Amino acid sequence: MNRLQKVSQEMRLSALFAFTLIVSLLTACGGPASRPVAFGRTITQPLPVSEKGNEVALYAMGLIDTGYRFGGRNPEAGLDCSGMVSFIYGQAAGLKVQGSAADIARSSRPIEPELLRPGDLVFFNTRNQPFSHVGIYLGDSRFVHAPATSGRVRIDRLSDRYYAQRFEAARTFFE
């Protein structure tokens, strides 16, 4: 990596950190916390801001522009969507998350989409298959994911037509 690339990467990480900090501070002012409903059922009441969730979101933003590789499980080799989630959750939250996007969906708790917090997961039907794609929610309707189409980890909006039409579920691993 040459000096210009290194400086560019450092600037990008600084900007991502600032964005995450702002989102975290705004989310922290979201109102009183309440307890979720029983495990396995859809959470329908607001949850407290999750420190681990914020760490997951911050770590995810640090992987922007990482190359895509089907079946990829680490940034050096490339990441696919489920590999990205598994890697980030392991590194940032110390949680062992494994399997395909559908496996990850089955092992996490459903939440109402309007209750998404940074670090929660968003699932899409992108291949005429339920839960065929997963991303990490950042806040402000944005999520990080590893789509095969661009060949790079990137940020998109849930409101973008393509993702809005294919959105399936919001889920979480956090209290």
- DSSP of 62-116: TTTTPBB-TT-EETTTEE-HHHHHHHHIIIII-----S-HHHHHHHSEEE-GGG-
Q: Would residue 133 show up in a list of annotated catalytic residues for this protein?
A: yes
Q: Of the listed 109, 117, 142, 145, which one is catalytic?
A: 145
Check if 29 is active-site.
Answer: no
- The residue type at 84: M
Decide: 124 and 153 in contact? Cβ < 8 Å: no
Which of 109, 117, 133, 154 is flagged as catalytic?
Answer: 133
- Check 16, 49, 63, 81 and give the catalytic one: 81
Q: Would you list the DSSP string of 115-146?
A: G--TT-EEEE--SSSTT-EEEEEEETTEEEE-
Helix or strand run (H / E) with residue 172:
strand 167-172
- Residue type present at position 156: D
**Active-site residue, 81 included:** yes
Which of these, 160, 152, 16, lies nearest to 81 by C-alpha position?
152
Q: Any idea what DSSP says for residue 150? A: T
Positions annotated as catalytic residues are: 81, 133, 145
